[in-house]
């Protein structure tokens, strides 16, 4: 059943609070009682066992699927600051080994830079997309930004150069 505020709330059903939080479970005398789940507007949820409106045990799950643990919490510690969805999708932690989010990394033509939407050639000052089609001519500001921040066609950090 669906309860409304004018009814006595008793038994199993669904109820929407004024905050748009939804409860699906059992109630007794107008209070959460027994098994029930709170679904929050941000897409997180709390599944619990309730006794006269008080949660006796339960589990909170964030919108991205991460389950909260108050003990042995191994998420977002000092060594690995990735979001849970980044961990699930294979994004590597930051560091010298993390030159790109792609695995394997995209092959960049030698002497060019990967500028996010294509390759930039410093000699021609042209950006082409990843299918090698013209995108734009880079102005001075974009040229400086690409050289300063983007990954080059060979790994300058480790000195690795592909065979020519």
Q: Which one has a higher pLDDT value, 26 or 154? A: 26
pTM for the whole structure: 0.49
Q: Hunting for tokens 């939407």 — which residue is that? A: 117
Q: 7 is written with which tokens?
A: 């009814």
Q: CA distances (Å), 127 to each of 99, 134, 136, in order?
A: 20, 6, 5
| Contact between residue 23 and residue 38 where contact means Cβ atoms under 8 Å apart | yes
| Contact between residue 61 and residue 44 where contact means Cβ atoms under 8 Å apart | yes
Cis (ω within 30 of 0) for the bond into 104? Answer: yes
| Contact between residue 154 and residue 113 where contact means Cβ atoms under 8 Å apart | no
pLDDT at site 57: 93
Is pLDDT above 50 for 158? no
| Contact between residue 128 and residue 134 where contact means Cβ atoms under 8 Å apart | yes
Average pLDDT, the chain: 81
The per-residue pLDDT for range 51-93, each reduced to its tens digit, is: 999 999 999 998 888 888 877 777 766 666 677 777 777 666 6
What is the distance, to the nearest Å, from the Cα of residue 75 to the centroid of all Cα atoms in its chain?
A: 13
The per-residue pLDDT for range 92-117, each reduced to its tens digit, is: 665 545 556 566 677 888 889 998 88
Mean pLDDT of 33-46: 94
């Amino acid at each position: 059943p669906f309860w409304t505020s004018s009814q006595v709330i008793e038994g199993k059903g669904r109820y929407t609070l004024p905050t748009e939080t939804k409860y699906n479970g059992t109630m007794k005398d107008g209070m959460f009682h027994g098994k029930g789940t709170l679904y929050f507007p941000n897409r997180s949820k709390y599944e619990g066992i309730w006794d006269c409106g008080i949660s006796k045990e339960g589990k909170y799950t964030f919108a991205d699927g991460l389950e909260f643990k108050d003990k042995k919490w191994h998420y977002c510690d000092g060594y690995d600051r990735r979001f849970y969805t980044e961990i699930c999708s294979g994004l590597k932690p930051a560091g010298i080994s993390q030159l790109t989010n792609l695995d394997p990394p995209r092959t960049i033509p030698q002497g060019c830079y990967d500028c996010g939407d294509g390759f930039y050639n410093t000699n021609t000052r042209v950006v082409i997309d990843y299918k090698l089609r013209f995108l734009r001519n880079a102005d001075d500001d974009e040229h400086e930004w690409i050289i300063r921040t983007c990954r080059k066609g060979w790994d300058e950090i480790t000195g690795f150069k592909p065979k020519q």
